[in-house]
Structure 1
C-alpha cells in the first residue's frame, strides 16, 4: 500500500494542494500551512505537550512546542495539519497532543492523524527515490541520510519504511 486510507479520503483538491508542496525536499510545511490559511505559532508549551490545534473566531491556530527538536516540531506540525484535514469538526474544542501524539480524542483519531502526517512529510515515491540514491550507505548511515533529506527523525522514517 503506497498511501494511507486517510490520504485516499482527502478530496482531489486537497491532495493536489499537498502534492504541490511535495516537489521540493524537505516539504515546506510553513508554505503549506499558509496556503491552507492556518496560523502557526511556535510556543512554549508544557514539556509533555508537542502541539495543539484549535479553531477560534473563524481562524485555525496551530501551536507547536518550540522547545522540541526541529524534526519533532515538523512532525507535530504535519500531525496538526492532518487533524485540520481529517477532524475539522473537532477543532472548535481544540485538540492538544502530548509527546506520544495522544490527546483526549480516541486513539484511532490520533492514529489517523499520524498516518496522514507521514503521507505529507514522507511521500512513498520520494522515500523510494531517496532509498535508491543512498543505497550504497549501510546501516544507520542509510537511514540518517534519508531522514536528513526529508528533515524528519530516523525514528519517524523507520516507522514509515515499516509500512511500505
Structure 2
C-alpha cells in the first residue's frame, strides 16, 4: 500500500518519480538528479548519516550529503530519507537538516517518520515489492526477506519493516 506521504507528492515531481519506481533496485542517485538534487558522498561526523542543505548551484536548490563510511545499503536509505525531506518538508529545511543514525533531526518525530515512510516507498515500491514477493514464492526462496533485501538493495531490517514483520 502506498503511504500517505507518497500520495501527497503530486504534479511534476510525481511525474519525475514514477518512472523510477518500475525497476528494482530503484536508481536512487538518478532519481535525485532528475529532481534537481545533488548527492555527495562525504566524510560526516560519527553518528551522522546524512543531511540536506541549501545549494544554489543545483536546479532544486539543495544538496544531499551522505556519510561515505556507512554501509552502501544504509547510504541508499539515507539518500531516500533526505529526498523525502525535500519532497515533504523543503519549506522547513532552512539552513539544513542533519539526520543521525536513527534518522532523527531537529524536526519533529512525525516529520522524521514521514520521511522514513516516503523513503520506504521510494526504495521498495509497492507494486514491485508485490511482484518480487510472488516471484520469490514461485522460485521457492526459503529466506524471502534476504531475497527481497538483495533485490531492492536495502537492509534486511528495512525490508522486514516494509513487509510488516517487525
TM-score by length of 1: 0.93
2:83 alignment counterpart: 81
Question: How does 1:11-160 map onto structure 2 within 5 Å?
Answer: 11-57=10-56, 59-135=61-137, 136-138=140-142, 141-160=143-162
Instruction: Report the 3-state secondary structure (helix = DSSP H, G, I; strand = E; otherwise coil) of the residue aligned with 2:63.
Output: strand
- Partners of 2:34 and 2:55 lie apart in 1 by 18
Q: Deviations over 1:59-117 (max 9, x none)?
A: 30100000001000000000000100000112222100000000011000100000000
Structure 2 unaligned runs (5+)?
A: none
Structure 1 unaligned runs (5+)?
A: none
- Partners of 1:154 and 1:21 lie apart in 2 by 22
- Partners of 2:56 and 2:19 lie apart in 1 by 28
Count of aligned positions? 160
Contact 2:48 2:98 in 1 (8 A): yes
1:6 alignment counterpart: 5
Larger CA deviation: 23-32 vs 8-17:
8-17
Larger CA deviation: 154-163 vs 78-87:
154-163
Q: CA RMSD in A?
A: 1.3
- Partners of 2:64 and 2:146 lie apart in 1 by 28
Instruction: Report the 3-state secondary structure (helix = DSSP H, G, I; strand = E; otherwise coil) of the residue aligned with 1:101.
Output: coil
